[in-house]
Structure 1
Amino acid sequence: MQHFQQFYWDRRYGDLSEEQLPSCESLKDTIARALPYWNNEIVPQIKQGKRVLIAAHGNSLRGIVKHLDGMSEEAIMELNLPTGIPILYELDKNLKPVKPMQFLGDEETVRKAMEAVAAQGKAKK
């Protein structure tokens, strides 16, 4: 919430109630921010034949995965990308995946990392 507190103190937003001010960034917001970067910065590099390494926050990566795989809103909400485990995509000339994303790690490590990410989203009792 620290980042979003600036809105509470900014006079430009003084007419808005606390309920109208953001307290976090939604996946939809993150995708809206990540896709222009994908299209304007990353795609040209790929089209030049370069291999591209993307290091990003989980939600930004989920936005790119949603775009590449054409995932539904429901499907992307269920996807738990493992933190710190590289994902490999091989793309065709139209930048469509040739095969499903591949996690670069052993199956057990990937599974545990995905479970850890899923557990972060569960409410503590």
Structure 2
Amino acid sequence: MKVLPQINEEGLPFTDSRLCSILLRTIVLLNLMLVVFTWSIWYEGDGRHSGAADQLFGNLRLGGFRADLIYLFSSSFLLTFPLLYFFERARDSRRAKVNATFCIFGLVAFAAYLYRLKLMLFG
């Protein structure tokens, strides 16, 4: 019995590499969204009011840190591995070039987050 491939809306079959690319780009976009939100008082809160992050993730803590912070650190660290993989193949493949660019954007966003964290902690 032959298994038919899944077909997307353009009539092209989904491949494992295509699904991995979509997953990688989704993770990077989620990281970018979290970093943008951390610059907002609505999300982070201030000394007088708790923000949306505290209300959403306040009970989800690991080692005293909120779940969104742990996710951002771990996913940004893990972005270095696909970056190395796609950076090596970027010359031959457009998809690899786009994925490498997404990884770079994710790491730059993480660097901006670390800068924001430094400002919050040390002024």
- Do both share a fold (TM > 0.5)? no
Scaled by the length of structure 2, the TM-score of the pair is 0.32
Higher relative contact order (CA 8 A, sep 6+): 2
Scaled by the length of structure 1, the TM-score of the pair is 0.32
The structure in which a higher percent of residues are helix is 2
